Structure 1
Amino acid sequence: MRPAVRARLLAAIALLLLTAAQMTGPHAAAGEPGSVPFLQVRIDRVTPEIVTTTSEPVVTVTGVVLNVGDRPVRDVVVRLEDAAAVTSSEGLRTNLTGDVDQYEPVANFITLAPELPRGQAVPFTLAYPLRSAEQPSLGIEEPGVYPVMVNVNGTPDYGAPARLDDARFLLPVTGVPPDPSDDTADALTEVVPPDTSRPVRLTMLWPLADRPRLAAGAAGGTTPVRLIDDDLATSLAAGGRLDTLLSAVEFATSPQVDPDGALRDATCLAVDPDLLVTVNAMTGGYVVNDGPDAGAGTPTHPGAGKDAALAWLNRLKALAKQLCVTPTVYAQADLDALHRVGDRGLSAIATNGAGGVVDQILGIASVRGATLVGDGPLTGGAAELLATQGRTVAISAADLADRSETTSDSNEPGTPDVRPVRYTPELVAAPFDPTVGAALAGLGTEPMAPSYLDPALDVPLKHDSAVARRQDALGAMLWRGLEPGTEPRTQIVMPPLSWSVTADDARAILTAVATTINSGLAQPRPLTAVIAEAAAVPSGQSRLPGDQLGNPRGRFDDAVVSGVAGVTGRLWGLTAALTTDAQTGLTGAEYTAPLREDMLRALSQSVPADARNGLAQQRLTTVGRTVDDIFNAVTIVNPGGSYTLATERSPLPLALRNDLPVPVKVRLQVDGPPGMSVTDMGEIELPPGYLPLRVPVEVHSTQRFAVDITLRTANGLSLGESVRLSVHSNAYGKVLFFITLSAGAVLVLLAGRRLWHRFRGQPDPADLDRPDPLDVALHFDDAGTPGTKPGPT
């Protein structure tokens, strides 16, 4: 054979061997799928969702493979692979992305299509027993949580065979059913039940919350209530997100479904006060902004959710009388950002004030003593803020980054220690596993990664199907109960507060919690027990957590924080000057409360991390304009022209105007020339409308001058615009005073001298040079002509 022919033959053989290795070898083609996608795997169903000793012994995965590329793909093949049981909490995330070396094939590749044109899809079904004496099977012999992967290979046009996509999920196995290939009489005795000798004490927080929907910049007493959109109308109606959450927990905790009350004991409703305020306002009718939230002048249209809001709220009130209820932080505000704002009053509204709102609207006594930190990490700043608000238990994500402190001796590396930690005499943290919370956050129509999660543990949520993400959540939630060596044997299940679960997701989660309790893997632990156990933690204090935790994308900018601090400070100063309107009963605090709550809504963690700062700045700008308008609504009426003061003590007439619905206490600051003094009128209570005033002044010179008048609150905040008056005074000052005094003295002396001489019968020397009045009279005749009248004859 010629060398050239031999070389071509050897190359062909090598290519065939390489292709065979890719198609039948133990692993998929090396490396991750390329940056240019060609195929996409979507898992549509996994049965059973949770494997038990009584479930079907065969695991079935169905789905489709789609050609999402720009060219046909030939030789599309698929196979199922699995990995060893997860041994650490971190493995609940790392097995779902990255390397695939841990996965082993369950069976050989199955050809789906010789060629898959672009835009086309082909279905698949992979079904294998959990264990079997006859291959193939998943080879699972013990309870645990097992990673499973659907691996797809193909050859794109103009390309080589490669792994083009995969889809991974977690399969929780609470018990191993019998081997289906064993048909002997004692097959049922071969089941492998879970270890229930050390059950996990389980607490489930079921969130009822939403993003802020009230339009920014609307002060108290504003009617009708304005919303930025009408999404709540859909969410509260039948089939909506909030209706789904409420319906699921209503059904699961009903006496018919939960006769012994185990799920009721383990579950507590986590209710956002801001949601209750919004829904309660909707029941009285409301309007919706036509465009972006831009203050009170935005065009509106009537809202459509009044009836849905009333029905949902009544259902919640009924359920709250039977189930534990605890408040979230108001509007799910970021406690770390609030600490940077540095306003203790605003922090108190967000934390201690939240329970009162929930109690008032629902007519219950909610469980106090716990603070649900929510989507963000418990940073050192957040811990300092909570420590100043009184005794509380912070339910927050454990820190997986610091392995030396978060991992106990009995746990695998990468598993957080969720035992309570006392930071200060007032503050104890009750951590939950962040990988479990993140898996729950991946459920629903809007999957997300919480801000408390280290970015290194992110998984491609948008790539995974809803079914795969549900499997991941179930596996993560059941993992601690299936790992008897993990300490401590307590667990807080904390989904994201603004949870977008579907009805199937909610059903699966609540069913899993009930199943794990009924099977003995878990015991219910009420929230009150969590608080009591945390309060009993010894007084030895741990160092505060760091401030650079979680995902930095979720941190609010310094510009937003400083803006919130500035607006809030002005609001507190104004509120201190406002009083109660006698006719309506509206107080100053009630009038400005929605604007302070707007500051908490601006810092809400319910908004996706990438959009937080933009939406916060938008709300902050709107509220800032409203606060400016409120300050400008109390002003001095500028009369124009000029005033003339008739005397040096003539009062200065003024008129004050208050366009607010509540009275305000003000002070006048009058700045005049050096020759003018003003009597301080003290605090003036200015009612809504007009108030005429006469300001006592004293002017010591005759001149035309300018008087600047400013209206301020008692603490010095300027109200409205300053007014400059042109004033003319007719007073002559001290010179006129002394001239008048001297003239008066001379007049008194002259009158006294005349009287003195008269009393002594002496003529006044001043009269000696004057003619006798009788002689003067005789000198004129009757006609008034000068002459000498004739004497008597």
Structure 2
Amino acid sequence: MTMLRLRRAVVSRLAVVAGIVAGLGTLLMAPMTAPHVAAGEPGSGSFVQVRVDQVTPDVVTTTSEPVITVTGTVTNVGDRAVRDVMVRLERATAIASSAGLRSALDGATDQYEPIADFVTVAAELQRGHHAGFTLSAPVHSLAGPSLAIEQPGVYPVLVNVNGTPDYGAPARLDNARFLLPVMGVPPYGGSSADTLASMVAPDTSKPIQITMLWPLADRPRLAPGVPGGTHPVRLVDDELATSLAPGGRLDVLLSAAEFATRHDVDPDGAVGRSLCLAVDPDLLVTVNAMTGGYVVSDSPDSTAQQPGTPTHPGTGQAAAVLWLDRLRALAHRMCVASTPYAQADLDALQRINDPGLSAIATRDTSDIVDKILGTSSTRGVTLIADGPLTNRITDLLSANGATVAVAAAGFSERASATSATADHAPDLAPRRISPQVVTAPFDPAVGAALAAAGAQPVIPTYADAALAIPLQHDSSIARRQDALGSMLWRSLQPGVAPRTQILMPPASWSLQADDAQAILTTLATTIRSGLAVPRPLPAVIAHAEAVTGAPQPVGPDPDVRGRFTDDIVSQVAFQVGRLWGLTSALTADPRTGLTGAQYTAPLREDMLRALSQSEPPDIRNELAQQRLAIVGDTIGDLFAAVTIVNPGGSYTLATEHSPLPLALHNGLAVPIRVRLNVDAPPGMTVTDIGEIELPPGYLPLRVPIEVNFTQRVAVDVSLHTPDGLPLGEPVRLSVHSNAYGKVLFAITLTAAGVLIALAGRRLWHRFRGQPDRADFDRPEPPVATGAGLPDDIDNRMDEEHRV
């Protein structure tokens, strides 16, 4: 052991000497160099770009190879040739705080020390050309250059590129950085006792309790503005067919989880207990609909998403059936939890302030997952993977019952600005933020590193500015290394508390197969090495629910990227209010079993899809506006589909009690309860026929009325829901009445009464032989004298008179 200490002292002194020599070399070279070209995204001023293509081993353990090998490529991305292109490895000290997991990958390079001399990649590199390189160095060594890593930890490594551009001087032109996780220091090499003694195993006395959410989600794919009961369903594109097929993104994620939890791979079930599938209900609804056949819009343009535009059959039905069956089988043997519906922005939902819509996004999601997967999902948890936890989200969750919010921990300005000590790590202890809500935080730096892995890296909107490093400059291999190092950092820091960790990737995670395998392998290695123990999600929930004490405020709400504008929020609030009003008037169709709530559910879900955080922050509002415009038009069409048929002519009423004939039309797929409003002129009384259940199709109707005039009038008729929302367009009817009316009827009765009285009086006097006084004023009839009559007639009259 004395000899070993002596050798280590010698190595330490050699490292100091090498550092001094390197420093002198840098000073001697400084007068000849051009101004430093900052590392970052290639652009103006960039001449070359270096990419890391492979790191072997990706995680250093006591049994891994003791030599680190980095292969990569240098590409001329500038406007001129570059001569004397050289590369070398450099290393910084182990990461001491979680903020350093991101800050060490950007900014100044002063903390990095060279490992060995530069190696020439190309004597001259022309524009657009590239050259490969391979750099190797021992993890530690008694003699010769090495990484000089003596203790487990997470170490930043840098590939430095120097060169001389045409018309310029030698300069540092670019660098590529990545994290090298060292779970254990391997021996120098060989099998001697001194060599084996150089091996350093990790401290497993304080293992962390680890929980990892494995997301299965996608951006919204269902075409907007299509009510329920429409077959086949319509998708905006057919990308989901590719994603579900073998080798696709969702297939990769599902396959990785299946393999990692197989009995022969995970015999004790430790990895399976630490994992929980985080499933988006909107994805399940979409894939489940695809299994019955579907169509795809012919054009990806937003105007082509309107209902009724051309479509073609989708190609992913078989892939959807197979993928969903596999997911059902996996869900029956491991934890499943639901994300918010369509990954909707809960902060924006609270600004909308619609309790029904908020319940659909949070409280009702588990029912959807259970119904489609045929399992019992984990309840009492809300997964906030892509945005910060705000006071508005707390209020929304509190209104929907008790829950544990798994969300990013807050990062103070001090913690973001420095990575000097572990004391600046965010507080990951659960805390109560309202009487109903407890937060179970995850480390935002680790979450940001996981979000950066894969083919489509993203920067979560919860990430502090210090965590938002350039991503496209780094290769997918480098970003994978950063994710692995971030996963392991806390387990390699025995002094950091609490000894718990939740790994929360973004909901729409784009991993390649190699990425998914490496991440789950690292999770398994962490557990099997004793650095971590599995902590099932239900245990996380139970521990958080046991937190007592007065609620602590979340803190000021940050101004995050991708915040939905007030205009989007007001549009959703207006349209969803109209939709709830229409839904309350709809009933079930006895022929099909389709209910009003089922008929309008896709349109409510469209509101949540418009607020999805799966879309890139810089175009979220634009995409939301396009979707809401289509949904708004559809809701307007639903209201217009229930109307009064305009006869186009006039009605003639034969009597004052003739009913008013009407015809109603319901163009919806379900019955609707309506009320008829007749705006009658004075002299017309309309009987209220009450609430009408109008089935799909046409319904003739006779409205009882009473008319007290004879003339042509205009009558306005309209339809409303029972709550007063107008339906369709009002109709103006031209009505002609032949009725006498009450006044003429009274005059007629009076005249008849007078006539009867006069006739009765005359008859009375005649029966009594009395002259009627009405005859007193009449003149006597003239007496005939017989003058001018024949004699025989005159004589005959005299005889009769005598007799």
Length-normalised TM-score, structure 1:
0.92
Single out whichever of 182-191 and 455-464 deviates more from structure 2.
182-191
Indicate how the Cα distance of structure 1 residues 51 and 698 shifts in structure 2: closer, same or farther if over 3 A, else same.
same
1:486-506 Cα shifts (integer Å, max 9, x gaps): 111100001111010000000
- 1:63 matched to 2:63: no
CA distance in 2, matches of 1:124, 1:729: 99
1:305-338 Cα shifts (integer Å, max 9, x gaps): 0101000111111111101111111111100010
Given that residues 425 and 539 in structure 1 are in contact (C-alpha distance below 8 angstroms), is that contact kept between their aligned partners in structure 2? Answer: no
2:333 corresponds in structure 1 to 322
1:329-408 paired onto structure 2 within 5 Å: 329-401=340-412
- 1:163 matched to 2:187: no
1:221-241 Cα shifts (integer Å, max 9, x gaps): 001110000011111111111
Match of 2:294 among 280, 286, 290: 286
- 1:528 matched to 2:541: no
Q: Which amino acid aligns with 1:90?
A: A
2:577 corresponds in structure 1 to 569
- 1:178 matched to 2:191: no
2:589 corresponds in structure 1 to 581
CA distance in 2, matches of 1:513, 1:278: 31
Match of 2:198 among 163, 186, 190: 190
SS at 1:553 equivalent: coil
1:644 corresponds in structure 2 to 652
Length-normalised TM-score, structure 2:
0.90
CA distance in 1, matches of 2:753, 2:24: 132
Residue 790 of structure 1, CA deviation? 13
Given that residues 406 and 442 in structure 2 are in contact (C-alpha distance below 8 angstroms), is that contact kept between their aligned partners in structure 1? Answer: yes
CA distance in 2, matches of 1:28, 1:146: 30
Residue 770 of structure 1, CA deviation? 9.7
CA distance in 2, matches of 1:162, 1:791: 169
Single out whichever of 693-702 and 288-297 deviates more from structure 2.
693-702
Given that residues 242 and 248 in structure 2 are in contact (C-alpha distance below 8 angstroms), is that contact kept between their aligned partners in structure 1? Answer: yes
1:34-72 Cα shifts (integer Å, max 9, x gaps): 842110101110011000011111111001111111110
Residue 540 of structure 1, CA deviation? 1.4
Indicate how the Cα distance of structure 1 residues 600 and 568 shifts in structure 2: closer, same or farther if over 3 A, else same.
same
Single out whichever of 540-549 and 508-517 deviates more from structure 2.
540-549
Given that residues 411 and 485 in structure 1 are in contact (C-alpha distance below 8 angstroms), is that contact kept between their aligned partners in structure 2? Answer: no
1:57-98 Cα shifts (integer Å, max 9, x gaps): 111100111111111001111110010000111100100011
CA distance in 1, matches of 2:452, 2:650: 71
Indicate how the Cα distance of structure 1 residues 590 and 183 shifts in structure 2: closer, same or farther if over 3 A, else same.
closer
1:433-444 paired onto structure 2 within 5 Å: 433-444=443-454
Single out whichever of 444-453 and 741-750 deviates more from structure 2.
741-750
1:614-763 paired onto structure 2 within 5 Å: 614-757=622-765, 760=768, 762=770
Q: Which amino acid aligns with 2:123?
A: P
Given that residues 53 and 475 in structure 2 are in contact (C-alpha distance below 8 angstroms), is that contact kept between their aligned partners in structure 1? Answer: yes
1:249 corresponds in structure 2 to 257
1:200 corresponds in structure 2 to 208
CA distance in 1, matches of 2:766, 2:212: 115
CA distance in 2, matches of 1:201, 1:733: 90
SS at 1:123 equivalent: strand
1:544 corresponds in structure 2 to 554
1:150 corresponds in structure 2 to 159
Indicate how the Cα distance of structure 1 residues 18 and 534 shifts in structure 2: closer, same or farther if over 3 A, else same.
closer
1:445-470 Cα shifts (integer Å, max 9, x gaps): 11111111123321111111010000
Indicate how the Cα distance of structure 1 residues 769 and 232 shifts in structure 2: closer, same or farther if over 3 A, else same.
same
SS at 1:361 equivalent: helix
- 1:220 matched to 2:228: yes
2:307 corresponds in structure 1 to 296
CA distance in 2, matches of 1:661, 1:281: 19
Query: What is the aligned residue count?
Result: 758
2:19 corresponds in structure 1 to none
Given that residues 411 and 486 in structure 1 are in contact (C-alpha distance below 8 angstroms), is that contact kept between their aligned partners in structure 2? Answer: no
Residue 295 of structure 1, CA deviation? 1.8
Identical aligned residues as a percent: 65
Residue 189 of structure 1, CA deviation? 2.4
Q: Which amino acid aligns with 2:38?
A: E
Residue 403 of structure 1, CA deviation? 5.3
CA distance in 1, matches of 2:799, 2:728: 90
1:231 corresponds in structure 2 to 239
CA distance in 2, matches of 1:120, 1:402: 42
2:3 corresponds in structure 1 to none
Single out whichever of 208-217 and 676-685 deviates more from structure 2.
676-685
Match of 1:609 among 600, 608, 617: 617
Where does structure 2 lack aligned partners over 5 or more consecutive residues? 1-22, 785-795
- 1:45 matched to 2:54: yes
CA distance in 1, matches of 2:517, 2:78: 36
Q: Which amino acid aligns with 2:232?
A: P
Q: Which amino acid aligns with 2:92?
A: A
Indicate how the Cα distance of structure 1 residues 142 and 459 shifts in structure 2: closer, same or farther if over 3 A, else same.
same
CA distance in 2, matches of 1:240, 1:419: 37
- 1:32 matched to 2:38: yes
2:791 corresponds in structure 1 to none
CA distance in 2, matches of 1:414, 1:688: 65
Where does structure 1 lack aligned partners over 5 or more consecutive residues? 1-16, 777-787
Given that residues 73 and 116 in structure 1 are in contact (C-alpha distance below 8 angstroms), is that contact kept between their aligned partners in structure 2? Answer: yes
CA distance in 1, matches of 2:126, 2:44: 20
CA distance in 1, matches of 2:581, 2:108: 58
1:147-170 Cα shifts (integer Å, max 9, x gaps): 000000111111121111100000
SS at 1:42 equivalent: strand
Given that residues 400 and 414 in structure 1 are in contact (C-alpha distance below 8 angstroms), is that contact kept between their aligned partners in structure 2? Answer: no
1:104 corresponds in structure 2 to 113
1:82-97 paired onto structure 2 within 5 Å: 82-97=91-106
1:120 corresponds in structure 2 to 129
1:14-46 Cα shifts (integer Å, max 9, x gaps): xxx998647699x99756248421101011100
Given that residues 448 and 467 in structure 2 are in contact (C-alpha distance below 8 angstroms), is that contact kept between their aligned partners in structure 1? Answer: no
Given that residues 451 and 460 in structure 2 are in contact (C-alpha distance below 8 angstroms), is that contact kept between their aligned partners in structure 1? Answer: yes
Q: Which amino acid aligns with 1:643?
A: Y
Single out whichever of 207-216 and 752-761 deviates more from structure 2.
752-761
CA distance in 2, matches of 1:542, 1:97: 34
CA distance in 1, matches of 2:263, 2:768: 123
CA distance in 1, matches of 2:465, 2:763: 111
2:515 corresponds in structure 1 to 505
CA distance in 1, matches of 2:226, 2:753: 70
Match of 2:86 among 74, 77, 85: 77
CA distance in 1, matches of 2:757, 2:297: 85
CA distance in 2, matches of 1:653, 1:554: 56
Q: Which amino acid aligns with 1:588?
A: G
Indicate how the Cα distance of structure 1 residues 202 and 317 shifts in structure 2: closer, same or farther if over 3 A, else same.
same
CA distance in 2, matches of 1:602, 1:791: 123
Match of 1:418 among 428, 431, 450: 428
CA distance in 1, matches of 2:226, 2:667: 15
CA distance in 2, matches of 1:587, 1:753: 75
Q: Which amino acid aligns with 2:74?
A: V
SS at 1:595 equivalent: helix
CA distance in 1, matches of 2:233, 2:317: 12
Given that residues 22 and 28 in structure 1 are in contact (C-alpha distance below 8 angstroms), is that contact kept between their aligned partners in structure 2? Answer: no
1:597 corresponds in structure 2 to 605
Match of 2:283 among 271, 275, 278: 275
